[in-house]
Chains A and B, each alone.
Chain A
Amino acid sequence: MMENMKSPRIAYGEALAELGEKNEKVVVLDADLAHATQTAMFAERFKDRFFNMGIAEQNLMGVAAGLALSGFIPFASTFAIFGAGRAFEQIRNTICYPNSLNVKIAVTHAGITVGEDGGSHQAVEDISLMRSLPNMTVMVPCDAVETKKAVFAASRIEGPVYIRIARPVAPIITSEEYDFEPGRAKVVKEGSDAAIFATGLMVAKALEAAAELENRGISASVVNIHTIKPLDVETILREAGKTKKVITVEEHSIIGGLGSAVAEVLIENMPVKMKRIGINDTFGQSGTPDELLQHYGLTAENIIESVKEML
């Protein structure tokens, strides 16, 4: 997998710059993190359509709302913790509640793979917060290629979109040709013994686990849930129905994120055996992304173990 690696946040910057070329209504706002979120790539090319709001995330969201009300398509970027966390109420009350304003909240450095900066900077609650907001679309792309597709798709959705983008260099597991459709989960590997629903960087881990399981005679399907809201209920029920055993994997708290969303669907429609893999109701800490994924149990080995326990 080493041959094709790229950071989703780099793809975000490139996608924005390309989108800026195609759509002159796109404007970008950042909160003094343009070189980390990569919005600087857009800023270099479209100086007059880029607004650095400084270290002031509450104002960032409000200004984005005002621009959206005037017909622009603002992408407001910062780290996930400061966007979904610090400015939660601004997102709720000046973006979503007014009239589902057309603001794209594209945040990077989500989850524990932020790494060395530690727990203060690792948002593991943001999916939960964002998916509870009416009319919000929540996307968690799994790699650099899908990130670009998500950015373009978000620009075509009329209404608020939250895009959760990862920081580290990560394997590319989707192809340029792949038809990304918001709200339509993608079965990336077929299987009959268990269904693994994964999101973000965990899709690659799930594929790795499924390949190893195959070697051991266990057939697991892997579904890329790139859109947490609206959730693809149909695909979830179909895959869960085939296997009657479900595992969810996310780089997010097991409370309120993908695991909870899938559980909500299953319990109302088709209760099956289920296990949630994610951050177990705790905060992150400093470390390398890989060490942290191991520490918190988010590796292919952890997924393999969970599948075997369930069978």
Chain B
Amino acid sequence: MSITQEKIEELTSIARNVRRHIIEMTAEAGSGHPGGSLSCSDILTALYFDVLNVDPKRPTWSERDRFVLSKGHAAPALYAVLAEKGYFAREELMKLRKTGAMLQGHPDMKGTPGLDMTTGSLGQGLSAANGMALAAKLDRKDYRVYVLLGDGETEEGQVWEAVMASAHYKLDNLTAFVDHNGLQIDGPITQVMSPEKIQDKFKAFGWHVIDIDGHDFKEILNAVEEAKSTKGRPTVIVAKTVKGKGVPFMENVADWHGKAPTREQAEEALKAL
């Protein structure tokens, strides 16, 4: 598949809006996780605006592709993408984390159109994605299942239970992304509890592994195509990313994992975006 320059410009422009939403909504909420939201913004934009076979007017359409945000703290990024896609009004974004709001601190599928799974407690999304992919096989349906994990998240033991199961059941309709930004709350993942080398571990479990730059749309889309044509085993796309991507003072700073910008910092961030 050839990816046109036009498509890349379109995705770049949407991702920029997504990043601006992330800054505005976390600043308004006064809390949230901007760092890991900014690092996966390009992946989520590519998925929802090019890859996923979904229809915002029919969020529970049975034939749709599924997406599970296993690193649920990146909810601001997903909410921004869903709003841009038309699942709900953009005004909802500014109510993030407020009492009675639709958009919870971590994704809650009960009230939010477009969410295929509730997440937030790390390590659990891939298991649910496994179930969805198994269901597609049982029902002989063509939909595909995508899941995004954090690199720090792979420290959770359940991730590897799930990784083992996806390979065992040959879930080639399942594609996982690892948002490999190298940082977790307490610091660099290699210092806190190294899950490296993540690629080797997935490979050892029987997965097809693709390494990409997670901010390069061409590489993201090509990797997805490669995953689709890989039969008999699941694919993981390990995406090298920058935590806080796009906001100079947030880039590669662990402290921006779970801290909202002040009003002044938000202004500065928006100028950069």
Residues of A within 8 A of B (CB): 27, 48-49, 51, 53-54, 56, 58-59, 61-72, 74, 89-90, 93-94, 97-99
Contacts and interface: CB of A to CB of B under 8 A. Distances in A.
B136 interface: yes
Given A56-B165, A69-B117, A62 B135 contact: no
A94 B109 CA distance: 11
B121 A98 contact: no
B210 interface: no
A71 B134 CA distance: 12
Nearest to A72: B135
Which of B132, B136, B139, B169 has the most chain A CB atoms closer than 10 A to its own CB?
B132
Contact of A59 (B110, B130, B133): B130
A94 B127 contact: yes
A66 B158 contact: no
B127 A63 contact: yes
B249 to A, nearest CB: 34
Contacts of B126: 62
Given A62-B131, A63-B130, A93 B118 contact: yes
B67 to A, nearest CB: 12
Q: Is the interface of B mostly helix, strand, loop or mixed?
A: helix
B120 interface: yes
B116 interface: yes
Contacts of A69: 116-117, 128, 131-132, 135
A76 to B, nearest CB: 10
Contact of B131 (A54, A56, A64, A89): A64
Interface of B: 62, 108-110, 116-118, 120-121, 123-136, 138-139, 157-158, 161-162, 164-165, 168-169
A72 B134 CA distance: 11
Q: Is the interface of A mostly helix, strand, loop or mixed?
A: helix
Contact of A98 (B118, B139, B161): B118
Contacts of B62: 71
25 contacts: A53-B161, A56-B158, A56-B161, A58-B124, A59-B130, A59-B158, A62-B130, A63-B127, A63-B162, A65-B131, A66-B127, A66-B130, A66-B131, A66-B134, A67-B132, A67-B134, A69-B135, A89-B121, A93-B121, A94-B117, A97-B118, A98-B108, A98-B118, A99-B109, A99-B118
A58 B116 contact: no
Contacts of B110: 98-99
Contacts of B116: 69
B142 to A, nearest CB: 13
Given A94-B118, A98-B110, A99-B118, A67 B135 contact: yes
A70 B117 contact: no
A65 B165 contact: no
Contacts of B132: 66-67, 69-70
Given A56-B161, A59-B162, A72-B135, A66 B128 contact: yes
Nearest to A48: B138
Contacts of A58: 123-124, 127, 157-158, 161
A68 B117 CA distance: 11
Which of B110, B127, B132, B133 has the most chain A CB atoms closer than 10 A to its own CB?
B127
Nearest to A93: B121
Given A59-B158, A66-B128, A53 B118 contact: no
Contacts of A67: 131-132, 134-135
The 9 A-B residue pairs with the shortest CB-CB distance, nearest first, are A66-B131, A62-B127, A70-B135, A98-B118, A56-B161, A59-B161, A63-B131, A58-B158, A66-B128
Contacts of A98: 108-110, 117-118
Contacts of B157: 58
A90 B124 CA distance: 7
Contacts of B138: 27, 48-49, 72
A18 B118 CA distance: 33
Nearest to A92: B121
A217 B157 CA distance: 59
A210 to B, nearest CB: 45
A271 to B, nearest CB: 37
A51 B138 CA distance: 11
Which of A49, A53, A64 has the most chain B CB atoms closer than 10 A to its own CB?
A53
B158 A68 contact: no
A56 B161 CA distance: 6
B121 A59 contact: no
Given A70-B139, A93-B118, A98-B117, A63 B109 contact: no
Contacts of B124: 58, 62, 90, 93-94
Contacts of A94: 117-118, 124, 127-128
Nearest to A63: B131
